[in-house]
Structure 1
Amino acid sequence: MMGTLRALRDLKEIAPCPVGLPNGKDTIATKEGTIIVNEDLCLKNVLYVSELTCNLISVSQLTKQCRCFVQFTKTLCVIQGLTLKMLIGVGERRDGLYYFQNTPHINAMKTDCVALFEL
């Protein structure tokens, strides 16, 4: 769920959708879109909720759409790809929430040639 429209792409109107807020109140979402967090992390069908003061990611939706797994510790949230275990994103815990940090895409090893050696 997003509290800001400018981060959403392909924004469209939807049928009114009830949403429970973290403070216990209820509201209605009437728009949804796509958010691109980084080159490895794109979420579709993200609800726009004007009452939110921060953006909230559904871990269930994240793992389903991005084929990844998420690990939580006392201080970190780590998102990794299922197959190669590549780092997709990291969140740092502050005031009870995990704040996502932009993670640069880094290749651990790159080679331009391959050589075969016999032992």
Structure 2
Amino acid sequence: MTLFCPDFGIFWFTQQDVESGAWLLNSGATNHMTFTTTDFTQTSLPRRSNIVNTNCVTSLVTRAGTVKLSPSLQLHNTLLMPSLLYKLLSVSQITIDLNFTVLFYSNFCLIQDILTKEIIGRGTKRGGLYHMEDFSIGRAHFTHLFTSNKEQQILLWRC
């Protein structure tokens, strides 16, 4: 299935490609988005009342707020959209608002703090999408998490 929408970009996937509750890294999303109220540490009224979702239907935004994924990663201005099927991390919000960089490789990705060089998150590419799996990785703890020698060499080079 191929979908295109201005707020999300182009997707090639089926619903079976995405685990329920997984955060997906998305370079086309304008905002971080979730469908789960329990993800939030605080909420307020949203600045936007609706957004065009992945099936090009306008969906209601009910709240906005902060989601804490780890001590190093808090997502401000995250939108609560009960009709959304997937949780989306906006690459532009991560890089601009948090001063992090996102590194994409052929089968995994990393979120890194630009100032401290600490690895903040790690994801694996499955079904054409980057599934964020770990937000608690520090620079000293992540090498053993990768399966291939090539991935370990790339990570070592980045340090």
Fold similarity call, TM over 0.5: yes
For residues 59-70 of structure 1, the aligned pairs below 5 Å read 59-70=91-102
Alpha carbons of structure 1 residues 75 and 5: separation in structure 2 relative to 1, 3 Å: same
Say whether the 8 Å CA contact 1:36–1:42 is kept in structure 2: yes
C-alpha separation in 2, matches of 1:9 and 1:103: 16
What runs of 5+ residues in structure 1 fail to find an aligned partner? 109-119
Moved over 3 A (4+): 103-108
Aligned length: 108
TM-superposed CA distance for 1:16, in Å, is 4.7
C-alpha distance 16-67 of structure 1, shift in aligned 2 (>3 A): closer
Distance 1:10 1:103 in 2: 19
- Across the aligned residues of Structure 1 and Structure 2, the Cα RMSD in angstroms comes to 1.8
**Which position in structure 1 is the counterpart of 2:109?**
77
Unmatched 5+ stretches in structure 2: 1-32, 141-159
Q: TM-score, normalised by structure 2?
A: 0.61
SS at structure 1 position matched to 2:45: strand
Identity score, percent? 29
Counterparts of 1:48 and 1:98, CA distance in 2: 21
Which shifted more, 37-46 or 88-97?
Answer: 88-97
* Alignment-mate amino acid for residue 67 of structure 1: N
> Does 2:154 align with 1:94?
no
Please say if residues 65 and 78 of structure 2, whose CA atoms lie closer than 8 Å, have aligned partners that are also in contact: yes
**Change in 2 beyond 3 A, CA 1:74/1:107:** closer
Alignment partners' CA distance in 2, 1:102 and 1:27: 29
Q: Name the residue aligned to 1:18.
A: 50
C-alpha displacement of 1:83: 1.7
Q: Note the C-alpha offset of 1:65.
A: 2.1
Greater helix content? 2
Q: TM-score, normalised by structure 1?
A: 0.79
Q: Which has the larger radius of gyration?
A: 1
Q: Which of 35, 43, 68 does residue 3 from structure 1 map onto?
A: 35
CA displacement 1:55-107 (0-9 Å, x = unmatched): 00111111122211001123112111112321110111122321111243446
Residue 65 of structure 2 is aligned to residue 33 of structure 1: yes
